[in-house]
Chain A
Amino acid sequence: MGFQVAVTPFNLFVAVVGVTLGTIIGVLPGLGGANGVAILLPLTFTMPPTSAIILLTSIYWGALFGGAITSVLFNIPGEPWSVATTFDGYPLARQGQGGQALTAAFTSSFVGSLFSVVLITFFAPLLAEIALKFGPPEFFAIQLLTFSSFVGLGGGNPLKSLVTIVLGFIMASVGLDIVTGQLRLTFGVTDLMKGFDFIVAVIGLFGIGEILLSVEEGLQFRGARTGMNLRVVLDTWKVLPRYWRTFVRGSVIGFWMGFKPGGATPASFMSYAFAKRFSPRAERFGKGELEGVVAPETAAHAAGVAAMLPMITLGIPGSPTAAVMLGGLIIWGLQPGPMLFVENPEFVWGLIASMYTGNVIGVILVLAGVPLFAAILRIPFAILTPLIVVVCAIGSYAVHNSMIDIWYMLVFGVVGYVFKKLDYPLAPLVLALVLGDLAENALRQSLIMSQGSLAIFFTRPIAGAINALALLFFLLPVLTLWWRRRGAAPPVAPRP
């Protein structure tokens, strides 16, 4: 059923446009996956929801590919999950093997995404069935688990992660409280009545903030040249099957990580580390080993796709970009979660089918268009930067036709810059902003069901189990610290 929807001429056209736009966005610093999707979201208001989500996922696809281009050719990761790709991709490009590296990267992305899409196709209805049995306490428990895994497993300072999560929730509660009709945290300022829109927040935090950061680091966009033609592609394809173990390993790691809100970034690093550990050519990693490109790219893309699964079945986004798309779903009037399968099956299957088509279209377009996309970064910095700022401003304004949103964008930009420098993670903030109202509703309804008792979160079996796991994750940093202090801590081995 889904394929009928996905291959209508209009939707195919939309997919092509989306992938092209997405790749351009992925190549440009400051307009990342989440940011690009956020900016283009208001443009989809006039489209039917199915086409709109196809556009957005195609953009996401394109951005994933675009990130690989800049990583390999310019040693600039266009996305956080492309960082691992630079380790071996850029050295390969410097050695004149840029075409091989890119082919390997794109093919790995294709394989990883395909793996996840197939798994989604089978698991999604299953998961939705289970989720239909969920009530408010279970939904709240899942959200608690989501955020607890950020705090416990996300690495970095757990206190700061918790702060950004709470901050996001607070921002989400500014404005009109739907249940009681009261205005919260507005202090008489009319502009605050609308609250903060996550789109503007994402554009500011990830867009402007990223620009400020890259400017500070003084990034120069000078890139390695690449010879890209059909022969290079075919030659590389002949070599790649040698790495089938890396492909499988990367896909599994990616799917597992993407499904949980860890995201594509840790997946790519994990896959790289594993590949290096198990490879007979370990010492070549970092100097230009093709496997070092295959591993992170497969994982990152498998994770990126897997992030969609909890989004469409449970209503929990697995990554900031999925969070933006979730926001889009809400705006279009669709209720994310298990009911989506029941009420709008053609939407869900259309989306899944479009993941297949988008993947294929994406690989073809990208392989053909690499020189073109790479040329974009040759645009002088002094033209590119203000242009990106203007595009961000337009995107922010377009959400609510409101001038104050552009100011918010700037403020968020500064916040994003400061937070990144001080190691406050941004992804949980965005997730909290998007999920804030949903989480609060789940909490409220649960408490109403239990007449004010918190015990309901533990007496119901599914909720209780999930909540227990969440508590464990929250306390994990504390526990780890305690374990280390108890036994004599082994000396930390020097980095090789």
Chain B
Amino acid sequence: MRAADLITAAVLMLLGGVVVYDAVRLGIGWGLEGPRSGFFPFWLAVILLAMSAAIAVQSLRRPGGRPFVTRAAARPVLAVLAPAAGMVLATQFVGLYVASGLYLALYMRWVGRHAWPLTLGLAVAIPVVSFLVFERWFLVPMPKGPLEAWLGY
């Protein structure tokens, strides 16, 4: 937990530094008729830097505690995160509907070990229903890929 705390604080300090850099570029003083663009972000970043440093110090003084995430607990988390990331990546190429269908199928079969009929059934039904609900009824478009183009949408 302490390592994670320190890393997070370090990342935040880095972020603060980056913001300070950009704020100075924009100008942090008084402009034509008011504070310049960088004024607000600059002071925010200063506070961020100071607080993150304080957290880091606080963290160092406390005795090391529980691990941030145990190996056993990390597996289910990654098991959710990795396929989800894969689905988002796939959406960029084949569109949301196909990607979510693949994702559902993969997850139901691989993680849930459901039978093929149920898996395939839902993996096709849910994207189709979503298509009808979002594209037709709510008229909210979603990213689409080659399959939809081939079908004429």
Contact = CB atoms under 8 A, between A and B. Distances in A.
B54 A159 contact: yes
Interface in A41-66: 42-43, 46
Interface string A412-445: 0110011001101000000000000000100110
Interface residues of A, number: 58
Interface in B86-100: 87-88, 91-92, 96, 100
Interface string A145-176: 00000000000010110110011011001000
Interface stretch (A195-203, A396-404, A481-489): A396-404
A190 interface: no
Interface residues of B, number: 64
A448 interface: yes
Interface in B113-153: 113-114, 122, 126, 130, 134, 138-143
A407 interface: yes
A477 to B, nearest CB: 12
Contact of B36 (A180, A215, A386): A180
A170 B55 CA distance: 19
B10 interface: no
A11 interface: no
Contacts of B112: 380-383
B60 interface: no
Given A169-B44, A184-B37, A185-B22, A386 B108 contact: yes
Interface stretch (A275-283, A347-355, A387-395): A387-395
Contact of A422 (B5, B87, B91): B5
Contact of B80 (A46, A211, A390, A418): A211
Classify the secondary structure of B's interface with A: helix
A389 B130 CA distance: 13
A4 interface: no
A406 B142 CA distance: 11
B51 interface: yes
A179 interface: yes
A216 to B, nearest CB: 5
Contact of B114 (A46, A185, A382, A398): A382
A270 B56 CA distance: 32
A46 B137 CA distance: 12
A208 interface: yes
B34 interface: yes
Contacts of B138: 43, 46
Interface string B52-67: 1011001000000000
B44 A166 contact: yes
Identify the interface centre among A166, A173, A443, A448: most chain B CB within 10 Å of its CB.
A166
B91 A393 contact: yes
Contact of B104 (A390, A418, A444): A390
B100 to A, nearest CB: 4
B12 A185 contact: no
A459 interface: no
B30 A452 contact: yes
Given A380-B112, A410-B84, A447-B35, 7 more contacts: A185-B19, A212-B80, A218-B73, A382-B107, A382-B114, A389-B80, A397-B143
26 contacts: A43-B140, A160-B51, A166-B44, A167-B12, A167-B48, A169-B44, A170-B15, A170-B48, A173-B44, A180-B37, A182-B26, A185-B19, A185-B22, A185-B41, A215-B76, A216-B74, A386-B104, A394-B96, A397-B142, A403-B92, A406-B88, A417-B77, A421-B69, A422-B68, A444-B35, A447-B35
Interface of A: 42-43, 46, 157, 159-160, 162-163, 166-167, 169-170, 173, 177, 179-180, 182, 184-185, 187, 208, 211-212, 215-218, 380-383, 385-387, 389-390, 393-394, 397-398, 401, 403, 406-407, 410, 413-414, 417-418, 421-422, 424, 440, 443-444, 447-448, 452
